[in-house]
Chain A
Amino acid sequence: MHRGKGMKFVGDSRVKMNDRMPNIPKDYSEYPGKTEAFWPDFLLKEWMVGAVFLIGYLLLTVAHPSPLEGPADPTNASYIPLPDWYFLFLYQLLKYTYVSGPYNVIGAVIIPGLAVAALALAPFLDKGPERRPSKRPLPTAFMLLTLASMVYLTWESVAHHDWEAAKAQGVITDKDLGLLPDVEIDETSPGYEIFQSQASCIGCHGGDLAGGTGAPMLLGNELTAEEVAEVIKNGRGAMPAGVFEGTDEELQILAEFIASLKEKE
Chain B
Amino acid sequence: MLNKIYDWVDERLDITPIWRDIADHEVPEHVNPAHHFSAFVYCFGGLTFFITVIQILSGMFLTMYYVPDVENAWKSVYYLQNEVAFGEIVRGMHHWGASLVIVMMFLHTLRVFFTGSYKKPRELNWIVGVGIFCVMLGLGFTGYLLPWDMKAVFATKVGIQIAASVPFIGELIKILLAGDAEILGAQTLTRFFAIHVFFLPAVLFALLAVHFIMIRRQGISGPL
Q: Which of A102-110, A190-198, A250-258 contacts B (4 or more CB under 8 A)?
A: A102-110
Interface check B130, CB cutoff 8 A: yes
A3 and B24 within 8 A (CB): yes
The prevalent SS among residues of B at the interface is: helix
Asked if residues A57 and B100 are in contact (CB atoms below 8 Å), the reply is yes
Q: Are A35 and B10 in contact (CB under 8 A)?
A: no
> Which residue from A7, A36, A60 sits with its C-beta under 8 Å from B16?
A7
The number of chain A residues touching the other chain, given as a range, is: 35 or more
Mask: chain A, 7-42; 1 = CB below 8 Å from B; 0 = not: 101111111000001011110110111111111101
Chain A contacts for B209, CB-based, 8 A: none
Residues of B within 8 A of A28 (CB): 25-28, 219
B26/A29 in contact, CB under 8 A: yes
Mask, A188-213, CB within 8 Å of B = 1, is: 00000000000000000000000000
Cα A60 to Cα B158 in complex, Å, equals 28
Name the distance in Å between B79's Cβ and chain A's nearest Cβ: 11
| Residues of B with C-beta under 8 A to A65 | 81, 88, 92
Partner of B116, one of A68, A116, A136: A136
In the assembly, what is the distance between CA of A176 and CA of B162, in Å? 30
A-side binding surface: helix, strand, loop or mixed?
A: loop
- Asked whether any CB of chain B lies closer than 8 Å to the CB of A69, the reply is yes
Is there an interface contact between A116 and B70, defined as CB atoms closer than 8 Å? no
B91: interface (CB < 8 Å): yes
> What is the distance, in angstroms, from B13's C-beta to the closest C-beta of chain A?
10
**Chain B residues whose CB sits within 8 angstroms of the CB of A98 once the complex forms:** none
- In the complex, whether B154 has a CB less than 8 A from a CB of chain A is yes
- Residue interface mask B71-90, A partner, CB < 8 A = 1: 00011011001000000110
A245 CA to B3 CA, complexed, in Å: 88
- Min CB distance, A215 to chain B, in Å? 16
Contacts of B185 in A (CB 8 A): 74
Q: Check A7/B14 contact, CB under 8 A, given A23-B119, A81-B151, A116-B134.
A: yes
Separation of A108 and B158 alpha carbons in the complex (Å) = 11
When the two chains form their complex, are residues A61 and B35 in contact, meaning their CB atoms are under 8 A apart? no
Contact assessment for B46 and A50 in the assembled complex, using a CB-CB cutoff below 8 Å: yes
A-chain residues with CB within 8 Å of residue B191 when the two chains form the complex: none
Residue in A23, A61, A126, A133 whose CB lies within 8 Å of B89: A61
Contact A33-B35, Cβ < 8 Å, known A4-B16, A38-B27, A84-B155: yes
Residues of B within 8 A of A29 (CB): 26
Interface presence of A265 (CB below 8 A): no
Which residues of the partner chain A approach B7 to less than 8 Å between Cβ atoms?
A: 5
How many Å lie between the Cα of A83 and that of B144 in the bound state? 9
Q: Is A247 an interface residue (CB 8 A)?
A: no
Cβ contact within 8 Å between B32 and A123: no
Tell me which residues from 108 to 129 in chain A have a Cβ below 8 Å from any Cβ of chain B.
Answer: 108-109, 116, 119-120, 122-124, 126-127, 129
- In the assembled complex, the Cα of A66 lies from the Cα of B77 at a distance in Å of 11
Using Cβ atoms and an 8 Å threshold, which residues of chain B touch A55? Answer: none
Q: Does A94 contact B (CB under 8 A)?
A: yes
CB–CB A169/B96 < 8 A? no
Contacts of B121 in A (CB 8 A): 15, 21, 23-24
Tell me if B158 and A91 are in contact (CB < 8 A): yes
**A238 in the interface, Cβ–Cβ < 8 Å?**
no
Contact of A72 among B10, B148, B158, B221 (CB under 8 A): B148
Query: A235 contacts the other chain (Cβ, under 8 Å)?
Result: no
**A76-B16 in contact (CB<8A):** no
A39 to B159, CA, bound (A): 44
* Docked CA distance A88–B114 (Å): 25
Contact flag A120-B130 (CB < 8 Å), given A23-B121, A57-B100, A72-B74: yes
Are A35 and B149 neighbours in the complex by a CB distance under 8 Å?
no
A23 to B123, CA, bound (A): 12
Q: How far is the CA of A10 from the CA of B151 in the complex (A)?
A: 55
Nearest to A131 among chain B residues (CB) is: B116
Kindly identify, within residues 12 to 55 of chain B, every residue whose CB is under 8 Å from any CB belonging to chain A.
14, 16-17, 20-30, 32-35, 40, 43, 46-47, 50-51, 54
20 contacts between A and B (CB under 8 A): A5-B11, A7-B10, A9-B17, A10-B20, A12-B25, A21-B120, A38-B27, A39-B22, A42-B32, A50-B46, A69-B151, A70-B149, A71-B150, A72-B70, A73-B150, A120-B126, A120-B127, A123-B122, A123-B127, A131-B119
Please give 15 more A-B residue pairs, beta carbons under 8 A apart, in addition to A67-B151, A69-B149, A132-B224: A3-B20, A5-B16, A10-B17, A25-B219, A34-B35, A39-B24, A42-B27, A58-B93, A64-B92, A66-B92, A68-B81, A72-B153, A74-B157, A82-B155, A177-B78
